[in-house]
Each structure stands twice: as C-alpha cells, then as structure tokens.
C-alpha cells in the first residue's frame, strides 16, 4: 500500500470511506423502511381486529381472502372464520407461516374477556418492497462507489497539481518553486522548501567560491616553491640523499599544482563557466604529446604507451584536451596494467578519443560512479589519487558538448564538431 502513488492511495481511502458511508446509509434506510412498513401492517391489522370484533370475521378481510384471515374464538372454539387460513391457528401475535397463505404472515391476537379475535396478513408485499430496496442498494452502491472513486481521483489530481508544479520547476532547475494562491498546507510547504533551497544555494555558492579562490591562490606559491626546489637541485649543493628528497618534493609540488588546477576546473564547471576556446586540432600530435609526457614514467614501470590514430581532427580546446587525456593516462598508469593505448577515430558528428590499458578495468565498487567527484575505489585509496581525475574528464567533455563513457578498462571521449553543437556555449575559434 505504501508503494502506491499518493493519488491512488487518496482515491482508495476515499472509496473505502464511501463504502462505509453507503453501507451505513443502506442499513439505516432498510431498517427505517422495514419499520415503516411493519407499522403500516400493524395499523391495518388493528383496524381489522376492531372490525371483526364488531361485525364478524368477514368484515376484517376487505376482500383479501387469499392474503389474510380472520378468526373469532370463544372458550377455545372457533365460532367465526374467514380468509385463506387452513387448519388451526395459534392465537398468538407474531410472524409465522400459516397453511393456505403464501409467504410469512403477520398475526395479531386481541383478547376481550372470553373472546379472542385473531387476524393475519401476508407480508409478501412488504418483502417484495424490501427485496427491491436491497437490490437497488446492491446495484447502485458499487456504481456510486465507482463514480465517487473517479471523482476522488480527479479531485486528488487537482489537489496535488501544485505539488506536481513544484516538482517540475525543481526538476527544471529553477531557483524558486511556484506557490499556490491559497495559503494552505501546500503553500506553507512551498515556502519552507524555497527557504531551504535558498540556504542550499547560498551554501553551495560559498563552497564553490572557496574552492575557486583556494585553487587560484595555491597555484602561485606552489609554482614559486617548485622553482626554488629546482634551483636547489641544479646548484649541486645537495648530496645524493638530498637530491632524492628534493626530487620527491618537486613531484609533490606538481601533484599539488595539478590538484589545484583540477579543483578550479570543477568549480568553474559547476558554475557553467568553464571556458572552452575551440580550434581544429590534429589528433596525432595531441596524442603523441601526451605519450611523450608520460613515456618516462611508463618506462620506469616496465610499460609502454602506444598511439593508434588515422587522419583524425578534433574541434576542441587544446589545453583542456591535454588536461583530460593526461588525467586518463595518469589513471591508467596508476590503477591499470599492461601497455596503454591512445586512439582516435572520426565519426559522423565529430571525433572519438579513447584511452585504454590491458588491465581488468574498474572494480565493481567504483564502475557505477567513476565520473563522480572524489569517487575512489578501495585500490585507489592505497595507491594515492584524489578521485577528481575522471570528474575533470567528464566536465571537459561536457564543456565541449560531448560525453565521457566507461567500458571496462577503456574511457572514451566523444567530442562533436562545432557544426554539430546544440545550445552549448563556447568561445569562437581564434
């Protein structure tokens, strides 16, 4: 029941309430009509008993020989009789079957001294009325419930229309939810939700501003620190152990600088302000540049990086594409195994760039959320990494109007050409 839509649940509750109301009304009307008919029969029997006591048994039938009877009993003997009764009749009031008369008979016995007047009337007419009434309830009741349920379903939809309008507005990403004119519970809910959304937007805006400012401010001191360390390394004033330590510090500076740049990209992409300067690029020089950048690192691990490219061009921002491909190769070298392959091919609406390795692919605990920010599998937690690499890749792909997808140990970027863009803001080619 709890899994049903609220509109259906309201309709079912309304239908159940209608069933109870109609059942109670049917019982009340049936009982009231029966009591009224019984009272009419009793009044008629009282009148007949009076007529019989005054004028004899024939006077109490009024022509209903087959539907009733009248008896005058004195000292236990029937002295006068009329009607359709056959056989002895017990001189007691009540309802019972009387031989010779169809249906149940209502009997009235009135005693006056030694004389007892007994009159009776069949209840077939009363029973037919009550049966017709019951049939009307049996047929009309379900029809009434069905019609009321349809009406209840429509009314529930009307009542929930403001909620649906809020849902659509929220799904569209509008800043404020529409409020109904009536100052009712839904209006108060909308006001509360708007206040909550305003607080959330403010909090997210402050968070984005902090990340962007921190990333921007970190780049300069990190660059200065790296320059100083490189100068110390070139001076030759440090011993072998010192050179190892300085080299490790320079590598950490590079990692921190890359993290700052990644955070800045994330902040700008969240705000929809990630700048993209599109130009027509040949895929081979782009991929070979990435290969050369990571060749020494791959060689130290006993691995190689291959470039598989035909005559492919891509309309993209050179710096952003280098950043995306570098993140993918870094990810393959850090978490994959075997040789890494960079490939490119042309399709009908643009270019497709793929980075793959010979490893088993992403683990099940990370595959479904690999492109989320700070998504890290169990192995990544032990091998380093911030969990931003693939999120950066997707942000750059989407900034170009494209997509990033995962298939085993391969990550594919689909970058549409400028002529196939639809509603994607971009800077003109320089």
For the ranges 86-95, 138-147, 218-227, 346-355, the lowest mean pLDDT is seen at: 218-227
pLDDT at 375 over 70: no
Cα separation, 53 vs 63, whole angstroms: 17
* Amino acid 377: pLDDT: 55
Binned at pLDDT 50, 70 and 90, residue 173 comes out as: confident
* Amino acid 382: pLDDT: 41
What's the CA angle centered on 217, arms 215 and 219, to 5 degrees?
70
Binned at pLDDT 50, 70 and 90, residue 412 comes out as: very high
3-state secondary structure of 308: strand
* Amino acid 37: pLDDT: 94
**What number is the average pLDDT over the span 103-129?**
90
Residues, the chain: 430
Single out the residue of 208, 215, 325 nearest to residue 261, CA to CA: 215
Binned at pLDDT 50, 70 and 90, residue 425 comes out as: very low
pLDDT at 426 over 70: no
pLDDT by residue (tens digit) across 53-110?
A: 888 877 766 555 678 899 998 888 888 888 888 878 888 999 999 888 888 999 999 9
pLDDT at 428 over 50: no
Q: Name which residue leads in pLDDT, 386 or 83.
A: 83
- Its pTM surpasses 0.85: no
E-strand spans in 12-133?
A: 68-74, 77-83, 94-97, 104-112, 115-122
Residues whose CB falls within 8 Å of the CB of residue 187, separated by 6 or more in sequence, listed in order: 162, 179, 180, 181
* Amino acid 206: pLDDT: 79
CB atoms within 10 A of CB 61: 21
CB atoms within 10 A of CB 151: 13
3-state secondary structure of 422: coil
**What number is the average pLDDT over the span 283-306?**
90
Task: Give the β-pairing of 115-122 and 104-112.
Answer: antiparallel
287 in Cβ contact with 309 (< 8 Å): yes
* Amino acid 65: pLDDT: 65
For the ranges 21-25, 132-136, 163-167, 380-384, the lowest mean pLDDT is seen at: 380-384
pLDDT at 246 over 60: yes
Cα separation, 369 vs 133, whole angstroms: 66
* Amino acid 64: pLDDT: 56
| Cα four-point dihedral sign 253, 254, 257, 259 | negative
* Amino acid 237: pLDDT: 72
Return the percentage of the chain with pLDDT > 70, whole number.
86
* Amino acid 277: pLDDT: 85
Residues whose CB falls within 8 Å of the CB of residue 263, separated by 6 or more in sequence, listed in order: 211, 212, 214, 215, 388
Q: Which two tokens stand for residue 94?
A: 């009540």
The per-residue pLDDT of the chain, averaged, comes to 83
* Amino acid 336: pLDDT: 86
Where is 347: in which H helix or E strand? strand 340-347
State the maximum Cα–Cα separation within the chain, in Å, rounded to a whole number: 149
DSSP 428: P
């Amino acid at each position: 029941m709890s899994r049903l839509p609220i509109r259906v649940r309201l309709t079912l509750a309304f239908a159940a309430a209608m069933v109870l109301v109609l059942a109670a009304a049917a019982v009340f009307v049936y009982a009231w009509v029966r009591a009224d008919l019984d009272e009419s029969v009793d009044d008629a029997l009282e009148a007949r008993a009076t007529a019989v006591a005054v004028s004899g048994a024939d006077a109490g039938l009024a022509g209903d020989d087959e539907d009733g009877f009248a008896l005058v009993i004195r000292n236990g003997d029937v002295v006068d009789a009329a009607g359709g009764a056959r056989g002895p009749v017990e001189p007691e009031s009540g309802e019972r079957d009387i031989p010779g008369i169809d249906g149940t008979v209502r009997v009235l016995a009135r005693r006056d001294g030694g004389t007892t007047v007994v009159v009776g009337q069949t209840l077939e007419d009363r029973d037919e009325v009550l049966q017709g009434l019951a049939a009307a309830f049996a047929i009309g009741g379900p029809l009434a419930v069905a019609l009321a349920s349809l009406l209840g379903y429509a009314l529930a939809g009307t009542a929930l229309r403001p909620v649906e309008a809020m849902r659509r507005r929220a799904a569209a990403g509008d800043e404020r939810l529409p409020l109904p004119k009536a100052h009712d519970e839904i209006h108060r809910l909308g006001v509360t939700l708007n206040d909550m959304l305003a607080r959330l937007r403010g909090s997210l805006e402050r968070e984005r501003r902090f990340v962007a400012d921190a990333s921007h401010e970190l780049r300069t001191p990190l660059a200065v620190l790296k320059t100083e360390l490189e100068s110390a390394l070139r001076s030759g004033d440090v011993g072998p152990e010192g050179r190892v330590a300085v080299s490790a510090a320079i590598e950490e500076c590079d990692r921190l600088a890359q993290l700052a740049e990644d955070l800045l990209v994330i902040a700008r992409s969240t705000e929809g302000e990630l700048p993209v300067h599109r130009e027509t690029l040949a895929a081979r020089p782009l991929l070979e540049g990435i290969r050369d950048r990571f060749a020494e690192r791959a060689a130290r691990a006993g691995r190689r990086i291959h470039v598989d490219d035909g005559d492919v061009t891509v309309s993209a921002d050179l710096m952003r594409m280098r950043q995306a491909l570098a993140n993918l190769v870094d990810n393959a070298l850090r978490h994959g195994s075997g040789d890494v392959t960079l490939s490119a091919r042309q399709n009908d609406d643009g270019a497709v760039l793929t980075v793959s390795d010979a490893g088993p692919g992403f683990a099940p605990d990370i595959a479904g959320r690999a492109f989320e920010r700070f998504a890290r599998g169990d192995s990544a937690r032990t091998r380093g990494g911030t969990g931003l690499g693939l999120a950066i890749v997707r942000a750059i792909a989407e900034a170009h109007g494209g997509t990033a997808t995962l298939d085993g140990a391969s990550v594919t970027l689909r970058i549409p050409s400028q002529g196939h863009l639809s509603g994607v803001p971009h800077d003109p080619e320089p």
